[in-house]
Structure 1
Amino acid sequence: MKSPCDRLVAALSQDIIAGRLDIGARLPAHRDLAWRLGIGLGTVTKAYGILERRGLVRSVKGRGTFVAVAEARKGPVIDLSRNAPPAVISERLLSRSLTAIARRVDADVFNAYPPVTGHVRFRNELARWFRRHGMEADPECLLLTNGAQHALSVSLSTLCVPGGTLLVEEQTYPGAISLARHLGVRLVAIAMDGEGMRPDVLQRVLARGERGRTAVYLTPTMQNPTTSSMSRARREAIVGVCREADVVIIEDDVYALAPKSDYPPIASLAPERVFYINSLSKTLNPALRLGGLVVPRAWLDRAEATMHASGLMVSPLSCSVMEQWLLDGSADAISAAIQEEAGRRRSLAMDVLGGAVVRPIHVGYHLWLPLDQSDAEALDAAAKALGVLVTPPSSTTAGPSTEIAHAGIRLCIGAPSGPDLERALSGIKAILERMAARSRSELRALR
């Protein structure tokens, strides 16, 4: 349950961001608001202090506290919270692809329910695509899914439900957090360093014995949200710890856009204990909801049963598009164009924000802006006031915020148009500069 201070901060933040309080409007005096709300004077003082640190209000000695957002929102919201690849597919390419599919369409594929794991021809094609990206996948152990999120749901339901535990990095993919909570899976946050999950901490946690069925969830390449990538040595160390504890790993590899021999899939190091997830949504097109889950043979029957229970079937049209793009070379051209555009966007972000963001080893669609938890929350609130949505820091935090060492903001740079992205990054830069100036002022005041 939120404290009175938290509720007051939330209410005033919403009013300021929604424009219900005008810029420059004077807030009620501390004592007056405390009396009206029936709360302590100290609670109001603390709440106003939090709002000021977030850049939403400013206090003027002898005059009071005022709404301080310097810029009003103009135009539509720019969304840097949605992690999607840049749009590179033209209407001409799409029309050509659909025309080619129509010429050789197989009506049998559309006239019956597909097998639970997907049609063999499409599994073979996706396995071929995985192999070109560094993952040797046996089509017999490859389940076609409705994107990576469906594959993750099947993995968690197979390995951890009911009443199980999922070990994740302290900053992790928001979809994994929400899915685990929805399924009633207990989350345990494992400390991170510059390469992601620390194997020594993982070993200590596993040694104490987690209750219920336990699995480890990782994004070892271009980690979401921190953009860290595990070296081969780190991947081998994680495998060693999990082998010793006899724990299965769920490897989310959707951000490995191009294979690199120094960063092999963990599944290639321990195929007997890794559920490997990848999809076409990040590598080719977000509307192509087609993913793959490679399962160790010993788990195949249980995973198939979970797939059947999910009631979701892969669209035959999506499978046909995948097949056509792989046959005519469009998949390679699209992937190359996406990576080129992603590289340009990363360069733009690095030029605007400089050393404020981490420079990742791999090219992807998100960047990590390290901040302490309070500053991350302040930037989130101030960006909303400018009409820029960033990933809320609470959505990527797997454990209690007071115990998280690596806090920050994820910036998704793939989906917005080029001009919108530049405007959003410039706005975030201005917020960071104001926060830095305020910190310097507070530091001088302490001297």
Structure 2
Amino acid sequence: MRLASPWQPRLGETAGPPYERLVAALAEDIAAGSVPAGARLPPHRDLAFQLGIGLGTVTRAYAVLERRGLVQSERGRGMFVAGSILRARTVVDLSVNTPPQMLSDRLMTATLATLTGRLGAESFGRYCPAAGRDDHRMLMARWLADHRLAIAPDRLLLCNGAQHALSIALALACPRGGLLLTEAVTYPGAIALARHADYRMKPLDIDEEGLRPEALDRALRSRTDHGPVALYVTPTLQNPTAATMGLARRQDIVRLCRAHDVTIVEDDVYSLFTPPDLPALAALAPERSLYVNGLSKNLSPGLRIGVLATPPGLIDRALAMLQTTSTMASPLCNLIMAQWLTDGTATSVGASVRAEAARRMAMARAALPGQLAASGSNGFHAWLPMPMAAALHVAEGAAALGVMVTPPSALAVDPTVQLSGIRLCLGAPPPDELAHGLAVIAKLLAQGAGGDYGLPAVI
């Protein structure tokens, strides 16, 4: 005699066809542990009858759940909740900000096959110049000119990813113990670098367009010391709020930095999504800007090539820091970069990343209508503004349901600040997992987990 299923059949409260609602309901209950590993699920016909849906709908939902590793069928016995090893694979990770996967195995195979004849043992066994080969720096300068910023190749350094470039830029701009101004919530990697280097970080108010000039002006005028001061800022798709500065805002920031002799560290890793009429800060103030970009956020995380553009007077110091922290960027990554920038792969992959990011952002807006912070660009992260206590509550609730988000405290320059939010990284999960993760977040908010939240005028 077969044991009855312990699951109480229901459909999820999300919008969508019945099979997606059935998938969402079962996935939520499995992640919550209310249906334990090894538990039998209702037979197809019984479940269809109980929910008033078609037999094909149940079959399709079970197939989706099986592909995700949540359930497994046993011939002649039925469908069961998968064991702990399979369940561990079903966590939806919305905490890591990577672009959607637009590369194919076929593309990678073709690229590596093309490079086979270019990377012999002799060339692989030699050191390259620390700043990168001249031809590779020229290709990067051409890509930046087409993409964002016109700059001479001899002012570019090729690094092991944008994080490496950022660490050099911050060290150049702000000596140990110096003052680093930045947005009140910002990229966790920059916060970690600043704390490691013992910079004094000062959070500045932001709004729907990013850093507020009034906050920058106030902070600069109220300084009591006269040591070096630097500004770390992300003008396009600010991480985590996804705010993008308009032209007037960019000009105001540059004007204030010139007036107070502030060095700008511009993080432009989301430049793929910048409207064409918005210049980089480094184009507006080349004499005081350290410009950071890279290919990991624009194309693929595995392409660990970052770029640092410096004013002429800082290039020698930057090169010395580069040599100290890394002998050279990966020769293989440099060759892949050169191949893709030459044969048009970078352009086509970038276009695909933009299109898929827009589709995923549309999914997020549909799942959370009116709740995301407004952003004029379709990047691959979104922001749910709310007080810190509410954000922590939502993050904990989501984790209990198998959905991981970045800890809100990791995004705050001052963890005691009350205004915060939830960053949703949309690029990494497969679309069905993303839909499930968004549905879980929506359900938590509908149940009041986030409290009374909304984009404040000042964060």
Q: Give the TM-score normalised by structure 1.
A: 0.79
Please, which runs of 5 or more residues in structure 1 have no aligned partner?
A: 1-18, 24-71, 441-447
Q: Give the structure 2 partner of residue 236 of structure 1.
A: 251
Question: Is contact 1:160-1:212 (8 Å) kept?
Answer: no
Q: In structure 2, the residue corresponding to 1:435 is in which secondary structure?
A: coil
2:194 to 172, 180, 201: 180
Distance 1:275 1:438, change over 3 A: closer
- Give the Cα separation in 1 of the matches to 2:449 and 2:116: 58
1:422 aligns with 2:435: yes
2:170 to 156, 164, 187: 156
Q: Give the structure 2 partner of residue 306 of structure 1.
A: 321
Q: In structure 1, the residue corresponding to 2:99 is in which secondary structure?
A: coil
Question: Is contact 1:251-1:267 (8 Å) kept?
Answer: yes
Q: Which amino acid aligns with 2:433?
A: D
Question: Is contact 2:273-2:379 (8 Å) kept?
Answer: no
1:375 aligns with 2:390: yes
- Give the Cα separation in 2 of the matches to 1:183 and 1:250: 15
Q: In structure 2, the residue corresponding to 1:79 is in which secondary structure?
A: strand
* Superposed CA offset, 1:338-390 (max 9, x none): 11111111111111111111242112110001111111111011001001110
Please, which runs of 5 or more residues in structure 2 have no aligned partner?
A: 1-29, 35-83, 454-459
* CA positional deviation for 1:201: 1.6
Q: In structure 1, the residue corresponding to 2:264 is in which secondary structure?
A: strand
Q: Give the structure 1 partner of residue 205 of structure 2.
A: 191
Question: Is contact 2:409-2:415 (8 Å) kept?
Answer: no
Q: Give the structure 2 partner of residue 358 of structure 1.
A: 373
* CA positional deviation for 1:436: 6.4
* CA positional deviation for 1:215: 0.6
My pick for the range that moved more, 270-279 or 132-141, is 132-141
Q: In structure 2, the residue corresponding to 1:331 is in which secondary structure?
A: helix
* Superposed CA offset, 1:137-171 (max 9, x none): 21101010111100110011122122111100001
* Superposed CA offset, 1:187-228 (max 9, x none): 100111111111122112112335643210000001100011
Q: Which amino acid aligns with 1:253?
A: D
Q: Give the structure 1 partner of residue 73 of structure 2.
A: none
Q: Which amino acid aligns with 1:431?
A: L
1:32-431 equivalent positions in 2, closer than 5 A: 75=88, 76-105=90-119, 109-209=123-223, 210=225, 212-402=227-417, 404-405=418-419, 407-431=420-444
* Superposed CA offset, 1:253-310 (max 9, x none): 0112145233211110010110001000011110000010000011111111111121
- Give the Cα separation in 1 of the matches to 2:122 and 2:213: 49
Q: In structure 1, the residue corresponding to 2:422 is in which secondary structure?
A: strand
Q: In structure 2, the residue corresponding to 1:184 is in which secondary structure?
A: coil
What is the number of equivalent residue pairs in this alignment? 371
* CA positional deviation for 1:318: 0.4
- Give the Cα separation in 1 of the matches to 2:392 and 2:110: 46
- Give the Cα separation in 2 of the matches to 1:438 and 1:343: 28
- Give the Cα separation in 1 of the matches to 2:432 and 2:33: 28
Return the structure number with greater helix share.
1
Distance 1:169 1:327, change over 3 A: same
The CA RMSD over aligned residues, in Å, is: 2.3
Q: Give the TM-score normalised by structure 2.
A: 0.77
Q: Which amino acid aligns with 2:133?
A: H
Question: Is contact 1:144-1:314 (8 Å) kept?
Answer: yes
Q: Identical aligned pairs, as a percentage?
A: 43
Distance 1:109 1:121, change over 3 A: farther
Question: Is contact 2:293-2:308 (8 Å) kept?
Answer: yes
Q: Give the structure 1 partner of residue 81 of structure 2.
A: none
- Give the Cα separation in 2 of the matches to 1:162 and 1:317: 34
